[in-house]
């Protein structure tokens, strides 16, 4: 069996931590795309509700449900949303106290859509 010492394990953990998607990096790379900005804007509008479905987002943007589902899963991976495990279809908004985290990107999404 292959054994690793503590230094090798910590090096691998550091490498995995570096490759984890960061919230700012993910959003900054995609916020200038019209559909992503529209999705963020719609999610901010819907943030008073507890959850959203991928098929609602797909209908709004005119894209496939799989694309909308993937986008919402990516938002879950960076910590802006949470997918309900029992149904798998509901995506809940992450909150910091009373503030919904995704609302931080509302102004950037508005600027992107204003430029079109």
Residues 28-71 pLDDT 10s: 888 888 988 999 999 998 888 878 999 999 998 899 999 999 98
Coil, helix or strand at residue 83: strand
pLDDT of residue 21: 65
CATH code of the domain in which 48 resides: 1.10.10.10
**Residue 11: inside a domain, yes or no?**
no
Higher per-residue pLDDT: 89 or 47? 47
Domain count, the chain: 1
Average pLDDT over residues 82-86: 79
Is residue 1, in this structure, part of any structural domain at all?
no
Task: Please return the burial class of 106, using the count of CB atoms within 10 Å of its CB with bins 0-12, 13-18 and 19+.
Answer: middle
* 73 inside domain: yes
Task: Grade residue 87 by pLDDT with cuts at 50, 70 and 90.
Answer: low
Per-residue pLDDT at 1 exceeds 80: no
Element housing 100 (H / E): strand 99-100
87 within some domain: yes
Q: Is residue 42 part of a domain?
A: yes
Range of the domain at 62: 23-114
pLDDT in tens, 8-25: 878 888 887 777 767 677
Say how many Å lie between the first and final Cα of the chain, rounded: 58
């Amino acid at each position: 069996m292959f054994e690793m010492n503590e230094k090798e394990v910590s090096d691998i953990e550091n490498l995995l931590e570096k490759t984890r998607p960061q919230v700012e990096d993910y959003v900054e790379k995609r916020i200038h795309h019209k559909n992503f900005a529209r999705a963020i804007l719609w999610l901010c509008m819907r943030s008073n509700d507890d959850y959203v479905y991928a098929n609602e987002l797909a209908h709004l943007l005119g894209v496939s449900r799989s694309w909308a589902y993937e986008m919402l899963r990516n938002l879950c991976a960076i910590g802006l949303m949470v997918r309900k495990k029992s149904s798998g279809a509901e995506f809940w908004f992450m909150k910091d106290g009373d503030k919904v985290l995704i609302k931080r990107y509302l102004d950037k999404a508005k600027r992107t859509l204003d430029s079109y």
